[in-house]
Amino acid sequence: MGTYILRRLLLSIPVLIGILFATFALARWIPSDPCVAMLGEHATEAVCNDWNFRHGLTDKQGNKLPVLVQFPRYMGDILRGDFGRSFRFSLPITEILMQRLPITVELSFTALFFSMLVGIPLGVISAVRHNSSVDVLTMVWANVGVSMPVFWLGLMLAYVFALALKDTPFALPPSGRLTPGVLTTPFWEIWGLSIPSSGALYSLLDFVSRLNILNAVLSADLELLRDAVTHLILPAAALGTIPMALIARMSRSAMLEVLGQDYVRTARAKGLRQSVVVLKHAFRNALLPLVTVIGLSLGGLLGGAVLTETVFNLGGVGRILFEAITARDYGIVQGFTVVIAVFFVVLNLIVDVSYAYLDPRIRLT
């Protein structure tokens, strides 16, 4: 197992480098000038030459540096943990990611939890009640869920729960991450820990504390937990609807295949209860394809939160990424791409390793 994990990690290095190079090159091959995008059309040639040189895009004579010259320098900075500075905000990109990424991570994991909580039971029930009215309604709903655009669903949810039901117990906030006036205190301060205001440990703890739900749990702050959860219900439902539909359909398909196997018929012939046959004998063997879909869905949620964060005004990485693309802010685009690529690689590794646990017939050497 250890050899397999090490081999997969080594094979992931060229994949990450290839993804980073493709993003790096495509961003610079777009026929536009980042200086003009940042400073406006009235920026003089001399000003743009100086601006491009300071940001490593040209040499002293104003000649544009080839991508093959810029990329090794950028990789050297990445290996030192330096993602560069944002053209638009004049801030270290690492600092921007540490501020914005927790919002996107929290939203994505909440959306995945919603999609699994709803999608898996729907798929299992639909398979057990195959060709019944429950099965038909579930699959119709799954097809509708796949077809609904996130931005439209988000607006409809906000209208229904924030306006139409605003005077009822079902009212939910339409935007923002917390109610104004609700304060967050880092959990380590609640615990009375003394942490230096810099360094890797501080960065890690600061990142965790920006995950409001996790910070509220660690701090035992019930008011913060309630407020953070209620603000995430609508965006998580909007973002998680498509993966929920995919998970429901995959759960149904995998369960139908397993329920037709001989060992399931044998278990039923032995007189075991239906719940035991479905949950203990069938469901575990149906998890293999489902785990793959769940892993890929999480990566897709991290990369696809742009519209959801914009509709619900969450201010995560997705929103700032959109602004960076329009402003040709290469560094933020590349930094976010690195994060998403690493997430995908780690998720694929977890999925592959989990196969050995779920199916003992698989041997990893």
Per-residue tokens: 260: 């037709």
pLDDT tens-digit readout, 306-348: 778 888 888 888 777 777 777 777 778 778 877 887 887 788 7
Question: Which has more pLDDT, 36 or 104?
Answer: 104
| Confidence category of residue 232, pLDDT binned at 50, 70, 90 | very high
Q: How far is CA 146 from the centre of its chain?
A: 18
Q: What is the torsional sign of CA 183, 186, 192, 198?
A: negative
Q: Please give the C-alpha separations between residue 168 and each of 161, 177, 231, in angstroms, as whole numbers.
A: 9, 21, 16
Which one is the CATH code of 93-152+239-358: 3.10.129.10, 1.10.3720.10, 1.10.340.30, 3.40.50.720?
1.10.3720.10
DSSP track, 222-279: HHHHHHHHHHHHHHHHHHHHHHHHHHHHHHHHHHHHHHTSHHHHHHHHTT--HHHIII
Q: What pLDDT sits at residue 110? A: 92
Q: Count H helices, E strands: the chain?
A: 17, 0
Q: What pLDDT sits at residue 364? A: 54
pLDDT tens-digit readout, 8-18: 778 878 888 88
DSSP track, 67-120: HHHHHHHHHHHHHTT---B-TTT-SBHHHHHHHHHHHHHHHHHHHHHHHHHHHH
Question: Is pLDDT at 213 greater than 80 in this prediction?
Answer: yes
Per-chain mean pLDDT for the chain: 82
**Residues 235/314, Cβ–Cβ less than 8 Å:** yes
- DSSP tag of 286: G
**Residues 340/317, Cβ–Cβ less than 8 Å:** no
Question: Is pLDDT at 132 greater than 90 in this prediction?
Answer: no
Q: Taking residues 108-116, report their average pLDDT.
A: 91
- Nearest of 180, 170, 172, 176 to residue 230 by alpha carbon: 172
| Residue range(s) occupied by CATH 1.10.3720.10 in the chain | 93-152+239-358
Largest CA distance in the chain: 85
- Nearest of 241, 237, 213 to residue 312 by alpha carbon: 237
Prediction pTM value: 0.82
Question: Is pLDDT at 96 greater than 70 in this prediction?
Answer: yes
Q: Taking residues 267-283, report their average pLDDT.
A: 83
Classified as helix, coil or strand, 58 is strand
